[in-house]
Structure 1
Amino acid sequence: MEYGGRFMILIINICREKLHYFEFVKPIEDLVENHITKHYKDISNKDIENTDKIIICGTSLKDNKFLGDVNKFEWIKDYNKPVLGICGGMQIISIIFGGEVKTKKEIGYYFEEFKGFLGLKGKKEIYHLHNNYVALPNEFSEFTNSKIPQAVKHNKKEIYGALFHPEVRNKEVILNFLKLN
């Protein structure tokens, strides 16, 4: 769907606490001109059908309630447009395709070596804020040399996952995602 030459983006908020919106969702909204933002519990089939791209935002360290509602995201398997999952969003995407959540806390800035992920190549400083990561399903490839998957893409679809937080550092990841057809 086009609005004034721009595509409509659905931004999905997975935060349980309302104040977490300002840290994990609002920075993404600030980068995306034409969007609607909805909490994952309020999304309808029409919302999904009427958007051209979807971004599933992350949330705070202690907010993992969304992991109990992963079945609400089964539609991702049939969605044939670009999807970007950030942190918890990447965990959701991976689980939907058969990945397994594992525990590993990472907080702060780290350097990772990227192999061409939405504009990131070479050694880049990224921001981590997570307690969990995922063992990748077979349909996904990893784009870092990290011990745990930090940047992934589905092998056949435009479905991306970033365990790190590009809304904090590396905003070009989000901007490059928005440029995808």
Structure 2
Amino acid sequence: MILVISTCKYKLHELEFVRPIEDILRENKKSYFIKHYKMLSKGDIDKADKIIICGTSLQDFWYMGHIADFSWIAKVNKPILGICSGMQIIGIVYNGAVKKKTEIGFYKEKFNKNFLNIKDGTELEVYHLHNNYIDFSKLNDFEICSKSDGIQQAVKHKNNKIFGVLFHPEVRNREIILSFVG
């Protein structure tokens, strides 16, 4: 069972950031359930085999004031995929520094390490929609799998199955989500 976590302050924004993930899972006959992080219980986390933390809108930083609600990330032994704000949350939980940089639209990103289904050396066109990123360069627990203009675009934990992408794979790179959920 896959737990899909909304980080959206407003329910309406879930149509853009959660619903596409739900559509991918449903179309591929994957079992899932959706919870907003403020409604998340230990039982929800226990019930999940894998966890996807979705992104949110460009000006929605509400989750940053509630990082304590995500402290379980560093303790749970389950595969996690953080998308945009989800990746930022993972980075903050592991004491990464929040930096400002707006990226909107389609960009080419090159992967310098294997990442889920993506092989080292692959270049993908991805969709960005963010104002912040996390500097993972000083976080020894993470490998940087894609970086452009000094911004880490894809990371993975060295010991745990924790993955983060700053871009939105639900827009153009559904295979990343499908590779994660298996």
Give the TM-score normalised by the residue count of structure 1: 0.93
In the alignment, does 2:82 pair up with 1:82?
A: no
Match of 1:124, SS?
strand
Aligned equivalents of 2:55, 2:118: Cα separation in 1: 20
In the alignment, does 2:171 pair up with 1:168?
A: yes
In the alignment, does 2:45 pair up with 1:52?
A: no
1:59-138 matches, cutoff 5 A: 59-114=56-111, 115-121=113-119, 122-136=122-136, 137-138=139-140
Cα deviation, residue 46, structure 1: 0.5
Runs of 4+ deviating beyond 3 Å: none
Of the three residues 128, 135, 151, the one matched with 2:154 is: 151
Aligned equivalents of 2:147, 2:44: Cα separation in 1: 36
Alignment RMSD (CA, Å): 0.8
Q: What is residue 178 of structure 1 aligned with on the other side?
A: 181
Match of 1:149, SS?
strand
The number of aligned residues is 172
In the alignment, does 2:9 pair up with 1:16?
A: yes
Of the three residues 33, 37, 42, the one matched with 1:36 is: 33
Match of 1:156, SS?
coil
Q: Deviations over 1:36-79 (max 9, x none)?
A: 10000000000001110000000000001000001100001111
Q: Deviations over 1:91-114 (max 9, x none)?
A: 000110111111000000000111
Unpaired segments ≥5 residues, structure 1: 1-7
Match of 2:78, SS?
coil
Match of 1:79, SS?
coil
Cα deviation, residue 29, structure 1: 0.7
Aligned equivalents of 1:48, 1:62: Cα separation in 2: 28
Aligned equivalents of 1:13, 1:163: Cα separation in 2: 16
Q: Which amino acid aligns with 1:174?
A: I
* Larger fraction in helix: 2
